[in-house]
Amino acid sequence: MDAIDRRIIKVLQIDGRMKIAELAETVGLSATPCARRLERLHKDGVITGYSARVDAQKLDLPVTVFVSVELEQQASGGVDAFERAIRAFDEVMECHLMTGSRDILLRIVVADLNAFDRFLENRLMRVPGIRNMRSNFALRTMVRRDVLPGLD
């Protein structure tokens, strides 16, 4: 990847709906070479897809909860089983394997405390292999970035 590829990625992170001609002009290429580079970035898995950024609160999903999970088994079998189970839960927006005293960090989005309680009781607490969980509720998001650093 060179500086032009990085500019393409940065521009598309800001506006993923940009037409090829506009993208090419923005990054200083003609349309055909820009399209070829974009195709290669897709093929190489650098660009993995496109989506709309939405305001969860306006969709009646204002509650964000971070759940730290400690697994009974930290061997790959236990982690893999947990990962397979958690992929089925739409409320889980992110799932990270962590270092430190907690094995997993989940970011959960729900409508309210009752919805979170139902998620815990009917879904998360039924996943085998969990030793302990700790929940932290986000009061507000102070920083959210959609553009990765270091692409200049």
- pLDDT score of 35: 98
**Domain 3-43 adopts which CATH fold?**
Arc Repressor Mutant, subunit A (1.10.10)
| Degrees, nearest 5: CA angle 66-63-47 | 65
Task: Categorize the per-residue pLDDT at 103 as very low, low, confident or very high, splitting at 50, 70 and 90.
Answer: very high
Domain spans of the chain, in order of start: 3-43, 56-137
> Is residue 37 packed enough to be buried (19+ CB in 10 Å), middle (13-18) or exposed (0-12)?
buried
The predicted model gives 21-31 an average pLDDT of 97
| Degrees, nearest 5: CA angle 141-147-150 | 120
pLDDT tens-place string over residues 104-129: 999 999 999 999 999 999 999 999 99
Specify whether the backbone of 60 is left (phi greater than 0), alpha (psi in -120 to 50) or beta: left
CATH class of 56-137: alpha beta
Task: Categorize the per-residue pLDDT at 69 as very low, low, confident or very high, splitting at 50, 70 and 90.
Answer: very high
Q: How many beta carbons lie within 10 A of that of residue 28, not counting itself?
A: 10
